[in-house]
Structure formats: structure tokens, C-alpha cells
Amino acid sequence: MRTQNSVVSSLRTSLTSHRAARAQRREVAMLLSDPELSPSTRQEMVAILTRDEDVRTSVAVPSQRRGGASREHADAGSFRSA
């Protein structure tokens, strides 16, 4: 029963996070579609959003690499013991 509660809680957290991200994207889209927004301000906003996305991507990639490397080492260890 505890496992099921944990899964439900995790799904609820994921759904809440997903909804917040969608709301944020809608808000940014509304800001960028404002006809009164100056081109320089629009360009600066896009640059900030692009940089933010690059930071998120660069943070995710090393952790994925570490996960793959640890699995490779674990496999190598199992071959040695065989």
C-alpha cells in the first residue's frame, strides 16, 4: 500500500510540475506575441530563454553520462568475477 501511495504522490508531483511548465510557456508566448513589445526587448527575452534552456540541457547531460558510465563499470566488474 505504501508503494502505491508513493507512486500516486510521485505522479501528482509530476503532473503539477508539467502543468506549471505549460502555464509558464503560455505566459512567455503571450509576452512575446505582444505587438507593443519592442524588437530589442523581444530579442533579449529570446536570448535569456535560450540561455536558460542551454543551462538546463548542459546540467542534464553530465548526469546521464555518469549513469551510463556507472553501468559500464558495473558490467565490467561482473565479467571479472565470472
Q: Are 48 and 31 in contact (CB under 8 A)?
A: no
**H helices present in the chain, as ranges:** 2-32, 39-81
Residues 44 and 77 in one domain: yes
Answer with the residue of higher pLDDT: 21 or 80. Answer: 21
Residues 42 and 76 in one domain: yes
| Full residue range of the structural domain in which residue 4 is found | 1-33
Residues 28 and 43 in one domain: no
Specify the pTM.
0.50
- CA distance to 40, 42, 63, per residue, from 22 (Å): 25, 20, 25
9-21 confidence digits (pLDDT tens):
888 899 998 899 8
Residues 81 and 47 in one domain: yes
Give the pLDDT of residue 57: 72
